[in-house]
Amino acid sequence: MLLRDTGDFTRKTIEVLLFIRKESTAPLHPYFHPFTETVIESLNTLSSSMASDLVFSEPTGYFNLIRKYLSTCYTPFEGVPLKGMQVLGGLETRNLQFKRVVILDMNEEVLPPNTKDATLIPLKAREALGIPTYADREQITEYYLNTLINGAKEVYLFSVENSKKERSRYIERLLWENEKSQLDREGATKGTGKGGLVETIQYAIDLRNKEPGEIKKTDEIIYFLKNYTYSATSLDTYLNCPLKFYYKYVLKLREQEEITGNIERKDIGKFIHRVLHVYFLKRKGKILREKDLGTESMERVIAKLFKEEYGKGPTGATYLFLGQVKKQMKEFLVNYQIPAVQRVETRIHDLECDITIPFHSVKLTGRLDRIEERGKEWFVLDYKISAKKTFVEIRFDRIEIDQRDSWNEAVGSLQLPFYVLLLCEGLGKAVTECNGAYLLLGQSMLSSRSEYSLFDDSQDREKNFEILKTIIIGLLEEIRDPAILFWPTLNRKKICRFCEYVSFCGV
């Protein structure tokens, strides 16, 4: 596209906007017309100014000029004052008179606003070209402010004065004019001061968080809790904060899903789980061999699922994400999975297996990522995209069954013991035949150390499993006990930091 000068570029830009208005669905948006009219009017102003003859050597110069210029333009929103409260802009009050006017935040950089002109066109050049400057806008603001004040019976102007803020020059000017009028009336020999116009207001602010309240269990809640099917996540939630359990599982409050255009952490986890599920699905029921764990077939699975999820031709963040997934899954096979099957014969029994069992008058349910036989041992493998075991680690040496507070401190997560319990009860196996592990896929270098097992050979497996079962049973009884309220967590620094329900508790 050939561009002769700035005026030619602005006219072509207006033609594009008119084409969009005529040939697209954009005008259906309620704000399309007011914004478009402002842009076209601003472009016409620039096109008729002396700047229209400016010529840039590169097209980017025209785009930068228009972007900088339009950033200084505004679109007023007009209202119809038929009833209720009417919201007006400052310039819309010019023909109105009020009994009482209250203006908050009359500080410098607010009134007048600290909006200097774009540096692309210097101030002197803007004045010579007839383009409005920030000085013109300040004069208009002062004019409308004076009109508003002079038309009111009572006026209250508030400002903050400290080491970082100072009151507006408009206030100083009003005070000086008042002092001059007193001098004219009373003579220069008398002290003038501020004439009682300035009053200092101080108030105390209490920034302490209020204590979150406890929630009583009604008959309806008790009935719900006795018939609820509990998952590992729900028990973890209750262990960390019973009040959060109430909001999330009893009231079923959820955050509104928003489309951000970014790849969120939960999206990464879902995609990795899907890749591993599809990859091992053809190997289900078979003994895993090194020859069956090729990286080429893994890349084909990733490419197919990525195309289904994100479309063809990944760009930007999705391109980087695809590269990271390919690299990590290759390391998973080469550095973790192949050495693992070389050490012990491994057969995948099931993938994403749903198990529900009756347990102490309630039902427990869970979806197990992978169930496999390792030699003579049954194993639950749970995929995690995190790199650290801190949040899931269980310190058996710190657990004191008779002290409820020790459960929170010693147990990072009940998910793995919960899954082992499902496996034992579901398959009718003893805990001596079953184990479980987290596979920490988020580690930069995957290896056999990326697997964190629930039990190792040095532990008394039966004793430790009974301890964990006792904690699970204790939590289930505590949840259903009418006398025990839903109380807030004691470890607010850790639990409340990323909680989505802080607005309910006020923490």
Domain coordinates in residue numbering, the chain = 1-78, 86-203, 219-505
Q: What is the pLDDT of residue 191?
A: 45
**Residue (of 223, 214, 281) closest to 244 by Cα position:** 214
Could you say which residues of the chain have pLDDT below 50?
189-192
Q: What is the pLDDT of residue 419?
A: 97
Residue 264: burial class (beta carbons within 10 Å; 0-12, 13-18, 19+)? exposed
- The rounded distance, in Å, linking the Cα atoms of 464 and 470 is 10
pTM above 0.85, yes or no: no
Q: What is the pLDDT of residue 192?
A: 45
- The rounded distance, in Å, linking the Cα atoms of 411 and 494 is 14
Quick check: 372 and 434 in contact, CB under 8 A? Answer: no
Return phi, psi of residue 83, to 5°.
-160, 165
Residue matched to tokens 């029921």: 285
* Helix/strand/coil for 2: coil
Residue matched to tokens 């058996």: 396
* 209 secondary structure, DSSP code: P
Listing DSSP states for 149-167 in one string gives HHT-SEEEE----SSS--B
**Residue (of 497, 498, 505, 491) closest to 408 by Cα position:** 491
Q: What is the pLDDT of residue 170?
A: 87
* Helix/strand/coil for 204: coil
Residue 112, preceding peptide bond in cis (omega within 30° of 0):
yes
Cα angle 431, 394, 211; round to 5: 130
Residues 6+ apart with CB under 8 A from 76: 34, 89, 91, 92
The H or E element containing residue 460 is: none
**What's the one-letter identity of residue 48?**
S
CA distances from residue 375 to 342, 349, 372 in whole angstroms, order as listed: 12, 12, 10
- The rounded distance, in Å, linking the Cα atoms of 156 and 338 is 77
Quick check: 418 and 238 in contact, CB under 8 A? Answer: no
- The rounded distance, in Å, linking the Cα atoms of 384 and 381 is 10
* Helix/strand/coil for 374: strand
- The rounded distance, in Å, linking the Cα atoms of 475 and 228 is 14
* Residue 80 CA neighbour count, 13 Å, CB half: 1
- The rounded distance, in Å, linking the Cα atoms of 398 and 421 is 21
* 247 secondary structure, DSSP code: I
- The rounded distance, in Å, linking the Cα atoms of 229 and 422 is 13
CA distances from residue 139 to 33, 146, 169 in whole angstroms, order as listed: 29, 11, 12
Q: Where are the beta strands (DSSP E) in 292-430?
A: 346-359, 362-374, 377-384
* Residue 92 CA neighbour count, 13 Å, CB half: 11
CA distances from residue 203 to 157, 200, 505 in whole angstroms, order as listed: 17, 10, 26
